[in-house]
């Protein structure tokens, strides 16, 4: 399993396609990490920018609206899971959410879309994927949005942290899976250490039986490792993997991570055990040269002095 951070489609990035074409292409954004993504059995990304079906509605920070062709490039790169619960999810209102859901349903129904819903029924359904006989469940929640959110009667559209709801969905997910991965959009931007909010929720999630937490939103790396308590709970946590694609300018915001781990399922004498092993964060760099129209993250191991000089 591999996971990357926040896919933030700033202006230079969405303008890097040949916009004279009817369909824009963004495969170049992910070409240098495609091998690492596609080699994994499952790969996840936080899509920080909601999609819009009409190119005329595209916009950048502070209210994001990304072309749907970004999604095509994510699929080409090898991503299987798209996390959408974040503070920018309502930047384009209900239309942005429904456009995004329709796009994934019609263009790439095999992709697991997390965190947003077009019905109460979907909001109460746990997304699961099965690989090599291992059934993995996913939940995705945000601390809130940058505006009022979907509003009364449509609360189901965005998965927002609320303890009773989260506990209920965790219970439902664990009843029908081998492993539960929880995606959390939380914390303070540009803060290198987890906030009390993150730590309190992490403890709660561990006590509910979550196996792995993948965090985002601070836009820079935060610690990762294994949590445990005296009651026997244990959980792997990546507090923040930083950005993935962006044109932020600070050094910290351009250094990022690919969270990696292996899920091992063992069945012996009629008993099944699960082990989360080989956890690491592989360092990455977001590289861009606005004058040349070049935007693409690299694994740090592939990043040369020549590229850095640009």
Instruction: List the pLDDT tens digit at each of the 310 positions of the chain.
Output: 999 999 999 999 999 999 999 899 999 999 999 999 999 999 999 999 999 999 999 999 999 999 999 999 999 999 999 999 999 999 999 999 999 999 999 999 999 999 999 999 999 999 999 999 999 999 999 999 998 777 778 999 999 999 999 999 999 999 999 999 999 999 999 999 999 999 999 999 999 999 999 999 999 999 999 999 999 999 999 999 999 999 999 999 999 999 999 999 999 999 999 999 999 999 999 999 999 999 999 999 999 999 999 8
CA dihedral 84, 85, 89, 90 (to 10 degrees): 140
| Reported pTM | 0.97
């Amino acid at each position: 399993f591999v996971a990357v951070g926040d896919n933030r489609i700033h202006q230079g990035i969405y303008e890097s396609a040949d916009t004279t074409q009817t369909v824009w292409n963004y495969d170049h954004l992910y070409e240098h990490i495609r091998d690492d993504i596609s080699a994994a059995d499952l790969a996840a990304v936080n899509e920080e920018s909601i999609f819009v079906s009409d190119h005329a509605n595209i916009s950048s920070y502070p209210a994001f609206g990304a072309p749907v062709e970004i999604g095509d490039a994510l699929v080409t790169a090898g991503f299987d899971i798209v996390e959408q619960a974040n503070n920018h999810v309502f930047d384009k209102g209900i239309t942005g959410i429904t456009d995004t859901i329709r796009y994934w349903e019609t263009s790439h129904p095999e992709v697991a879309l997390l965190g947003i819903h077009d019905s109460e029924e979907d909001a109460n359904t746990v997304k699961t994927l099965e690989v090599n006989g291992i059934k993995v469940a996913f939940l995705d929640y945000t601390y809130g949005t940058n505006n009022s959110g979907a509003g009364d009667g449509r609360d189901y559209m965005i998965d927002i942290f609320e303890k009773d709801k989260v506990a209920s969905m965790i219970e439902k997910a664990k009843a029908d899976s081998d492993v539960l991965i929880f995606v959390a959009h939380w914390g303070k931007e540009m803060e290198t250490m987890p906030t009390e909010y993150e730590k309190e929720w992490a403890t709660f999630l561990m006590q509910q039986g979550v196996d792995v937490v993948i965090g985002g939103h601070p836009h820079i790396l935060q610690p990762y490792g294994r949590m445990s308590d005296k009651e026997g709970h244990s959980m792997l946590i990546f507090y923040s993997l930083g950005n993935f694609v962006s044109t932020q300018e600070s050094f910290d915001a351009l250094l990022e991570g690919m969270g990696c781990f292996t899920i091992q399922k063992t069945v012996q004498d009629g008993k099944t055990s699960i082990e989360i092993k080989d956890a690491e964060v592989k360092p990455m760099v977001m590289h861009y040269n606005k004058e040349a129209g070049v935007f693409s993250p690299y694994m740090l191991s592939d990043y040369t002095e020549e590229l850095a000089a640009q």
